[in-house]
Amino acid sequence: MSNSFGAAFRVTTFGESHGGGLGVIVDGCPAGHPFPFARVAAQLTRRRPGQSKLTSPRQEADELRVLSGLEPGTDLTLGTPIAMVFANSDARSNHYDDLAELYRPSHADYTYDARYGVRAVAGGGRSSARETVARVAAGALAEDLLATLHGVEIVAWVAEVADVVAPLPDLATLDRAQVDTSPVRCPDPAAAQAMIAAIDDARREGDTVGGVIRCIARKVPAGWGAPVFDKLTAGLAQAMMSLPASRGFEIGDGFAATRLRGSQHNDPFAVHPDRAQIFTTTNHSGGIQGGISNGETLRFAVAFKPVATLFRPQHTVTRDLQPVIFQPRGRHDPCVLPRAVPMVEAMAALVLCDHMLLARLARVADLVPRPPTDDAT
């Protein structure tokens, strides 16, 4: 508990990294939407390991099977649960046999044992980043709804790797094609080169690096979110901090905001002269005020720690409390950041899609029955 996320657009994921497979059930997807196979496939491809020397050589086809929730023939969503399942095709679990008895440092081996008294040893089990396949698939469906209904555009990118900090791109025009011009998914060519060098350096030394992903969501209307525990900020924070290896979350100016005076940080309101609409002349708030979107571009950042699996000997202990030296083998990413880009986008989409639906219930005036829609009986 709990492997579910969301109130109105609710996903439930399952699966270990090695075993029969993993997947996700989406409950609450509105009916009549063409299932976005292409968008899901595109995001799964971006998440997949083995795309470049920067990431794990593990090859997973990640072949999506949608077991339910679509009308055969039209692939329209039925309003019933959409089950998406992925087989675990390339598992070499013998790589992990010697891990059964020791606790890898800064992995979840020990904490899972402490909690459950039993754990899936191969590949990290439920704690494997492979679990995010399910999130990325569900998130792509969510963002398709967001794009269709409101034109929402979600774009994440690698903003920092180790001590390489990329300059801020043009947030009004940044798109995924620009992000994907580099295998490290940083849209700034010079920074991307430096990041690749930093990753290569670490790999050569059997070490790993971390970094920061930034993400924006454009065209989120004003009024999504909630006042207290379900602030949009709180939901995004939970979503991002539920990703493997995430260590920090910031909205808008984030920690840097603590160094500003209120007079510097406040975002003055103004009115678009041509279209009678309120906007803010700055966006230190990152598009959210009081937990509710204000119509400006959402902007947040997520910190990812360096990957815990090193190809260097490390001190640790066994389940029997014996000290040992651990020397990992297997297939691992020296840097999780490039592959985490679609994960961040997916989790942002899940949060926003949920709030898009909930926002439809906020006002009595919006609940006055409408004439039946065309596809109604």
Return all residues near 313 (Cβ < 8 A) that are at least 6 apart: 325, 326, 327
**Interface with its own copies (CB under 8 A), residue from 137, 179, 192, 212:** 212
Site residues for its own copies, 278-297, by CB under 8 A, read 278, 280-281, 284-285, 288-295
Residues 35-64, interacting with its own copies (CB under 8 A): none
Query: Burial code of 128-156, b = ≥16 C-beta within 10 A, e = fewer?
Result: bbbbbbbbbbbbbbbbbbbbeeeebbbbb
Q: Which two structure tokens, joined as six digits, stand for 216?
A: 């924006």
Q: Among residues 125 and 342, whose Cβ is nearest to its own copies? A: 125
Rounded to whole angstroms, the Cα distance separating 196 from 169 reads: 18
For its own copies, the closer of residues 18 and 176 by Cβ is: 18
**Contact assessment for residue 154 and residue 104, using Cβ atoms and an 8 Å cutoff:** no
267 binds its own copies (CB under 8 A): yes
Looking at the Cβ atoms of 173 and 227, the one nearer to its own copies is: 227
Closest CA to 166 of 196, 201, 195: 195
Positions 63 through 92 that interact with its own copies (CB under 8 A): 65-72, 74, 76-83, 85
**Number of residues in contact with its own copies under rule CB under 8 A:** 179
Nearer to its own copies, 170 or 369 (CB): 369
Site for its own copies in 10-29 (CB under 8 A): 10, 12-16, 18-23, 25, 27-28
User: Per CB under 8 A, which region of 40-48, 166-174, 186-194, 230-238 contacts its own copies?
Assistant: 230-238
Sorted by sequence, the CB contacts under 8 Å of residue 179 that are 6+ apart come out as 155, 156, 157, 185, 186, 187, 341
Window contacting its own copies (CB under 8 A); options: 35-43, 52-60, 188-196, 260-268: 260-268
We find the least distance from the C-beta atom of residue 56 to its own copies, in angstroms, to be 14
Q: Which is nearer to its own copies, 297 or 314 (CB)?
A: 314
Options 194, 216, 236, 349; binder of its own copies; rule CB under 8 A? 236
Residue 146 interacts with its own copies (CB under 8 A)?
no
3-state secondary structure of 114: helix
Asked if residue 271 binds its own copies (CB under 8 A), the reply is yes
The residue (of 37 and 110) whose beta carbon lies closer to its own copies is 110
Give me 39's structure tokens: 């968008």
Among residues 114, 168, 171, 190, the one that binds its own copies under rule CB under 8 A: 114
- Rounded to an integer, what distance in angstroms lies between the CA atom of residue 5 and that of residue 27? 10
- Smallest separation, CB 137 to its own copies (Å): 14
Residues in region 312-371 near its own copies by CB under 8 A: 312, 314-317, 319, 321-323, 356-370
Distances (CA, A) of 292 to 240, 296, 298: 18, 11, 11
Residue that has been written with the tokens 């930093």 in this structure: 198
The residue from 63, 90, 97, 113 that contacts its own copies (CB under 8 A) is: 113
The piece of 36-44, 49-57, 119-127, 176-184 that touches its own copies (CB under 8 A) is 119-127
Which of 127/182 has CB closer to its own copies? 127
Distances (CA, A) of 305 to 64, 77, 161: 29, 38, 10
Which stretch in 38-46, 49-57, 174-182, 249-257 sits in contact with its own copies by CB under 8 A?
249-257
Q: Which residues pair with 128 in a beta bridge?
A: none
3 state DSSP class of 300: strand
User: What distance lies between CA 191 and its chain's CA centroid?
Assistant: 22
Site for its own copies in 152-211 (CB under 8 A): 160, 162-163, 202, 205, 207-211
Instruction: Report the amino acid identity of residue 229.
Output: F
Token pair belonging to 95:
């790589």
Rounded distance between C-alpha atoms, residue 216 and residue 272, angstroms: 22
